[in-house]
Amino acid sequence: MTVRLTIRKAGLADVKAVWEIERLSFPAPWSRWAFVTELGNPLSHFLIAGPQTPDSREVWGYIIFWVAAQEMHILNLAVHPRRRRRGVARFLLTEALRQAREAGAGVAWLEVRPSNTAARTLYESFGFMEVGARSKYYQDNQEDALVLFLELDHHDG
């Protein structure tokens, strides 16, 4: 079944659901407090995707990115395991890139685990390119991070 999706800014009331998804999604999840902190960070954009039904506050996925010095840095993106492979991440990333362009970003950066095939395939499909690596970036298993980069096209946004 295809459900229409909607995007909104995150608020304090979303943190519980976001944190649940975070813990289901990452071997070294952010703390609950880290999400609260992002809500108060003026550089931070914190978006929620959910089903487009009247009055729904359901959280299916989220993205957090910063825009500073004309650069977008994607810090976090996750979709609830039960809601994956329905285009939720693609929807969030599309809107995040649009908002970052609007906020003046010309390039986007992110780090991803080499073992994270789902995320790497998603980012590649948006044109992100591998431009480097950070050695032993992930503290839980000492895995390196791949650094991905995308030039944002100001003409199509």
Ligand X SMILES: CC(C)(COP(=O)(O)OP(=O)(O)OC[C@H]1O[C@@H](n2cnc3c(N)ncnc32)[C@H](O)[C@@H]1OP(=O)(O)O)[C@@H](O)C(=O)NCCC(=O)NCCS
Of 104 and 147, nearer to ligand X (C-beta) is: 147
Of 104 and 120, nearer to ligand X (C-beta) is: 120
Instruction: State the nearest-atom distance from the C-beta of 28 to ligand X, in Å.
Output: 11
Of 7 and 77, nearer to ligand X (C-beta) is: 77
Task: Please confirm, yes or no, whether 111 is among the known catalytic residues.
Answer: yes
Considering the candidates 95, 111, 130, 143, report the single residue annotated as catalytic: 111
CB neighbours (10 Å) of residue 109? Answer: 18
Query: Which among 1, 105, 5, 2 is positioned nearest to 47, based on CA atoms?
Result: 5
Task: Please confirm, yes or no, whether 20 is among the known catalytic residues.
Answer: no
Task: Report whether 92 contacts 50 (CB < 8 A).
Answer: no
DSSP character string of 20-67: HHHHHH-SSPPPHHHHHHHHT-TTEEEEEEEE--TT-----EEEEEEE
Instruction: State the nearest-atom distance from the C-beta of 154 to ligand X, in Å.
Output: 24
The residues of the shown chain that bind ligand X, judged by CB under 6 A, are 25-26, 61, 77-79, 84-90, 112, 116-119, 121-122, 125
Across the strands, what pairs with 46? 64
Catalytic residues: 111, 123
